[in-house]
Amino acid sequence: MDSEALHTFVTIHRTGGFSPAAQVLNRSQPAISRRIALLEEEIGAPLFERVTGGVVLSQAGRVLLPHAERVLAALKDTADALKALQSGDGGPVSIAVVGTLASAGLTRVLKKFAARSPGVALTLGTATSAEVSELVRSGEATIGLRYFNDRSPDLIGFALKPEPLVVTCAPDHARANKRMARFADLGDEHWLAFPPPPDFEEPSAANIFAQFLLRGVGHFRWSAIDSLTAQKRLVEAGFGIALLPESSIAEERVAKSLAVIRAGDLNAANPVTAIVRKGGYLSPASRKLLEILKADYRV
């Protein structure tokens, strides 16, 4: 059972089919199929089942997947450790971040890191919180930045400063820049919100619903908008109000295209967590970035 066969197996799973995996791996589809056939022969069971539009893991494939990911992550750790040895105190650094967290707070951290570690190869990608965990778990990302903690036993989480949320409205809204005694008094407004899980794979999307439920409000008028940018534009146009990260509307507040409504009993925030793989290799540069995140990250 060689590493290339495991890499092929994992890539087919992640891309959902043999053809897309062949494109990612820059191999022919027959070559991909032969490699998997040999792996299945070695295991003694099929690894995939064909479904409409692609393939899914068989029972044997589901058993093999976490072990294959750990093997590939360990091999990447070895390669990273050797690169770090050759480059002194550097080494490659890869970070996966929830898209809405790639804002001014992260920019400040990365600038400080770049100043302290010039020449380090840094790669950054965006994903949902669940995807960030998977990227760290598989070794594709060294550090993850996500909402809420992932308590999986193969990950270690470090709580960072939470992301405050504010009620956002158009500047000409009747309640703009005013203070309400109770958040529940805004239950008569039309809200714009992310679809809650499981329809939208981001745990922070449930925050607005949790705020009303905590106050005994089970129903309120809302529209599902799955884009932060779209929510802001619709709020600007007066189509509703939204509970948004305070950092995400900083520019609009300066430009006076968005305003806020203060609720006296609202103290809402999205928890932010940095995660690494338990037992995974952290290069000196990765450890330095993690320490800066823990000490200086703020939205």
The phi-psi region of residue 38 (left if phi > 0; otherwise alpha if psi is between -120 and 50; otherwise beta) is alpha
Q: Which two tokens stand for residue 259?
A: 């305003």
Q: Kindly report the pTM of this predicted structure.
A: 0.70
Domains 3-66 and 163-268 share a fold: no
Q: What is the pLDDT along the chain (299 residues), one digit of tens a residue?
A: 788 889 899 899 989 899 999 999 999 989 989 999 999 999 899 999 988 888 999 999 999 998 888 888 888 777 776 666 555 556 678 999 998 888 878 999 999 998 988 878 889 999 999 999 999 988 889 999 999 999 999 999 999 999 999 999 999 999 999 999 999 999 999 999 999 888 788 888 899 999 999 999 988 999 999 999 999 999 999 999 999 999 889 899 999 999 999 999 999 999 999 999 998 888 888 889 999 999 988 87
Q: Which of 289, 298, 38 is nearest to 144 (CA)?
A: 289
Q: What is 163-268's CATH superfamily?
A: Periplasmic binding protein-like II (3.40.190.10)
**What is the per-residue pLDDT for 266?**
93
Residue with tokens 């022919």: 28
Strand pairing class (122-127; 93-98): parallel
What is the spatial distance between Cα 47 and Cα 58, in angstroms, rounded to a whole number?
A: 5
Q: Where are the domains of the chain?
A: 3-66, 89-161+272-296, 163-268
What is the spatial distance between Cα 215 and Cα 226, in angstroms, rounded to a whole number?
A: 25
Fold of 89-161+272-296: D-Maltodextrin-Binding Protein; domain 2 (3.40.190)
Residues 103 and 142 sit within 8 Å (Cβ to Cβ): no
Fold of 3-66: Arc Repressor Mutant, subunit A (1.10.10)
C-alpha distances out from residue 50 to 1, 27, 169, Å:
23, 20, 48
Residues 98 and 145 sit within 8 Å (Cβ to Cβ): yes
HSE value, Cβ hemisphere, 13 Å, CA-based, for 11: 21
